[in-house]
Every structure is written in C-alpha cells, then in structure tokens.
Amino acid sequence: MKPAKRAHTLLAVNGGSSSIRFALFECGGRIARIMDGKVDRIGLPGTRLEYRDLILGRKGAVPMPGAPVDSLLSWLEKQPSFAPVSAVGHRIVQGMGRSEPGRVTPQLVRELRRNTPFDPDHLPREIELIQAFGKRHPRLPQVACFDTAFHRDMPRVARVLAIPHRYQGQGLVRYGFHGLSYSFLMEELGRVAGRAAARGRVILAHLGSGASLAAVSGGKSRDTSMGFTPAAGLVMGTRSGDLDPGVAGFLAQREGMTPARFQEMVNHQSGLLGVSGTSSDMRDLVARSRRDARAAEAVDLFCYQATKWIGAYAAALGGVDTLVFSGGIGENAPDIRGRICRGLGFLGIRIDRRRNAGNAALISTAAGAVAVRVIRTDEEMMIARSVVRVLGLGKTLTTS
C-alpha cells in the first residue's frame, strides 16, 4: 500500500502599494482555499483587515494599528489555520529578466533591492514582507512568483521602447504585468474550453482598478498593454494609462512639477479618478453617470480604450478566437462588457444579452465567431500552484 500523501498548508501573499491580500490553502490531494483576506487603506486612517474563514464559515474585520506588515503577521500567527503553514509564496510585481518562480534566498533579496528603482511602488513592500516572514519564521521556505514572467518571451518587437538604443541595456523595455492573473486565466481556459482553445488566438482583458490586456497565441504572450511600468496602457482606477511624454515636460515648465510629483499624479491621481474628479470605482461612476457628465466621460473613456486595445490585438494576432474578461470590472460589470463589445461585431464578437446580464461563463451568442468568456481570476491560487511546483510538494494535486 502506498503511503498517504502528506497535506501541506500554504500561505499566498499579494503585497500592493496600498493593500496586502493573502490566502491560506490546504494542499493534500487538491489545492483548496481555506482562508483569505485583505489589509486595505495602508497609509491612511482606518486601516483594517477583512477576512473570511471558509472552514468555520465566518468573516470579520479588525483594525490594524501600527506597521501593517507586523500587524498582519501578528494576526495571522494567532489563527489556528496558520500553525501548520509549511511555505509562503509572494507575488513580486517586477521580476525583470526572471521567467520562472524561484525560492527566496539572500541573493534574490539583494537582487530585488537593486531592482527597486524599476518599481518603487511595489517592491519595497514586497521585500518588507519577505524579510518579516524570514525574521519571525526563519525555517519557513518562501517562494517568489514574478508578475512579469508571463510576458518574458514576448517578441522583441513588442518589448522595445522607441528611445535611444543604449537605454535597453539599462533595463528600459516593455515588461508587462498582471502575469500571475494571465497564467491562471490560461490554465482555466484550457480546463473549461480545451487545449485547442488555449493554444488559439486569445485576448485576455484583466479589467479592475489596475487594468491591462494581453494578446496570446500558442499559449504565449505576444503583446500586452502595460509597459515599462504598470501605469502604461489602458486608463485605470487612478493610473493614467498611456500618456503623451510631452505632458511631463509641460507640467515641469508650467508648474515646476518634479519627477516624484509627476509619478504620484499619474499613478494615484489620474485615470478614472482624475477624469471624473469623484471616484476611481467603476461602480460609483456607473451609478453617477446619468446625472454627472464627468463620471459619464470617465466610463466612456474606459470602454472606448478597451475596445480600441481589443481591436489592436486582433490585428496583432491575425484574428481572435477567444476573448476573456476578468478582474473586478471584467467579472462583475455586464454593462461595461456589453459596451466594450458593442463595436466589435466586425471581428465576429457578438454578446448574448441575457447571458451577459447573468455573468455567465460563456456570454457570446452561438452565431458569434469568437467565444467570449468570463473567468474569475485568482492570483493567490496561482501563487499556491507555483509554490507546490517549486518546492515539489506534490505532482498529482488538483484544484478545487
């Protein structure tokens, strides 16, 4: 008789610039989420942790006084589900040239520190989380999962920035982000639609507070809307998306705006918030749009740009077989999906209104040449899967 496979409990940590998401997974014969939560509004009054315990069927919220990382670890250590944790996986937004997840070592931490100028919004918090776990639980293996890895093999023509060639050697290229989400979506697409669909011409639309699109064929990223930083591409909640570089020079001359102030503006004061003047949340803007012209304009701009990017990627791929919506907006806003797809009939994209309104998994009509799907993304699950692979915790695990 073969010995029973030992169960492991894994912690996935997703550190952002103003929030930290986490999830606990039990990994035995399958990978199953048992708890998740989020520390929100970091750096602002009222920072608190919201959590769901899926085993006990309860949820709640607690204030997070003091340093958010230490407060989170202290809270986790008091949870019964944390006691058996055997590994921690971290989302690392900027992986530079790395194409695979890897075990955290002192050398890797030094590398991440050197890379901080490429991502000052995310890497400091991610390094802080790694070091905090290392200090308090030194024997706990940690794995770094890189958000840029999915796009590492993009064709050179999609990676090059049209600036003097010497800057490429300094790392100024298009990296692309949301890679953990895209990796998860491609695995799920293969599961629900088959290998042939996942190997076809696919456009992935991760639409949330951070928003991007990716063009994929043969299971590989061919292009993506985010670039050297996550601020590029589609208009987002507080990020500008693509912007004429002349704006920076104009504001420096007219208002004396410093580079740091400009970065603050394009990352935290622009996008839907900047256009509307009221909110970065699409739900708020849709509710206001009938009586607020600026809110309506922000919604129009978001939908217009998403439609434009989909059309561009259909051209880059030589057509499209599958369009996938994901992210908070992509998964939960049927009106926005409908508006984005309304002008794409020439590509064979046709939406079934009833199925779209119900957030069905497949929202295209039978007559449409393109399968339009809604897939709920799960970056933390992708982190857990990566930890299992890197540490060799089980070759026959399935996912619930």
Q: Report the CATH architecture of 8-146.
A: 2-Layer Sandwich (3.30)
Q: Which of 40, 147, 321, 378 is catalytic?
A: 147
Element (H, E) at 365: none
First to last CA, the chain: 26
Instruction: Give the model's pLDDT for residue 5.
Output: 53
Tell me: pLDDT of 43 over 90: no
Q: Report the CATH architecture of 194-374.
A: 2-Layer Sandwich (3.30)
pLDDT tens digits, one per residue of 101-113:
999 999 999 999 9
Residue with tokens 């589609």: 234
For residue 323, give the 3-state DSSP assignment: strand
How many CB atoms sit inside 10 A of residue 355's CB?
17
The b-or-e profile of 159-181 (16+ CB within 10 A means b, else e) is beeeeeeeeeeeebbbbbbbbbb
Known catalytic residue: 121? no
Q: Which two tokens stand for residue 400?
A: 């619930």
Q: Helix (H) and strand (E) counts for the chain?
A: 15, 14
Q: Of 22-36, 201-215, 287-301, which gets the smallest average pLDDT? A: 22-36
Rounded alpha-carbon distances, angstroms, from residue 96 to 152, 220, 244: 8, 18, 25
Tell me: pLDDT of 46 over 80: no
Rounded alpha-carbon distances, angstroms, from residue 251 to 99, 232, 241, 255, 259: 37, 19, 17, 5, 10
Query: Domain extents for the chain?
Result: 8-146, 194-374
Confidence label for 45 from pLDDT (cuts 50, 70 and 90): confident
Q: Which whole number is the average pLDDT over 98-125?
A: 94
pLDDT tens digits, one per residue of 202-212:
999 999 999 99
Sequence-ordered alpha helix ranges (H) in 289-378: 293-317, 327-332, 334-342, 353-357
Distance CA 267, CA 26 (A): 36
Q: Which percentage of the chain shows pLDDT scores above 90?
A: 84
Q: What is the pTM of this model?
A: 0.93
